[in-house]
Amino acid sequence: MKIKEKKISIRFYEELNDFLPKEKRKKRFTHSFIDRTSVKDLIESLGVPHTEVDLILVNGKSVNFKYLINDGDDISVYPVFESLDISDVQHLRAKPLRKPKFICDVHLGKLARNLRMFGIDVYYKNFMNDEEIVKISLAEKRTILTRDTGLLKRSDVTHGYFIRNDDPEKQTAEIISRFSLMKLVKPFTLCLDCGSKLVKINKKDILHLIPENVKQEQNKFFYCVNCKKIFWAGSHFNNMSLFIKEMMKHLK
């Protein structure tokens, strides 16, 4: 006995097309199925993580991720909207995280350091597995940053973002722009190594801890309350300042 296949038509909009093969981008296409499945599982089977989706319309009506697809359904899938008001339709995730905080996966150490340079709260350790990342994300209300779509497809992930660029500097600009962080940038307020707050410390209290040439050249010092490291405005600071200035100029 031949099993009759069922079909739906589906289209993904805007940046969701980044996850699709070229022949399916920016157009409506037909997808065949045998067993009914949730629209969430359908979307992720086509390569798009659910964390990238904010609105699904089926036959013109908004549905949630649990909706079971039917033969002949016409489905439209949209990303997070920046300006269009969709307050009267079905949102697919909990409320946005009003205070942006992030957690980077283990492959994004340079990005984490760069974002901390801008004063953006980022959790990062180079030995975390996926379970630990998700657990911290949920407990501390942090958005997961990753280039691993498998991590974002986990059902317990509520807030996550797939980074399009592979260069750390471009990744930094991408995150600041995508999450509209320009007004939140406070350079050199967080430790680059652990992400904790930096506080000013009196020079006389650390004379025994700093090199002789630094004693002669510097008067302003900062101290990490967590890892106990001391920072000052040396040549590396000047290079980072230039990096921040140039990036912010292009992001405005």
* Domains of the chain by residue range: 6-79, 102-251
Question: pLDDT tens, 105-153?
Answer: 999 999 999 999 999 999 999 999 999 999 999 999 999 999 999 999 9
CA distance 39 to 60: 15
Look at residue 90 in the predicted model and tell me its pLDDT. 56
What percentage of the chain's residues is helix, strand, coil (to nearest 5)? 35, 20, 45
Extract the residue ranges of the chain whose pLDDT is less than 50. 82-86
Does domain 6-79 sit in CATH 3.30.70.260?
A: no
CA distances from 27 to 12, 21, 32, 160 (A): 7, 12, 16, 25
Look at residue 81 in the predicted model and tell me its pLDDT. 59
Look at residue 251 in the predicted model and tell me its pLDDT. 77
Look at residue 55 in the predicted model and tell me its pLDDT. 92
Q: What is the pTM of this model?
A: 0.79
Residue appearing with tokens 């995508």: 178
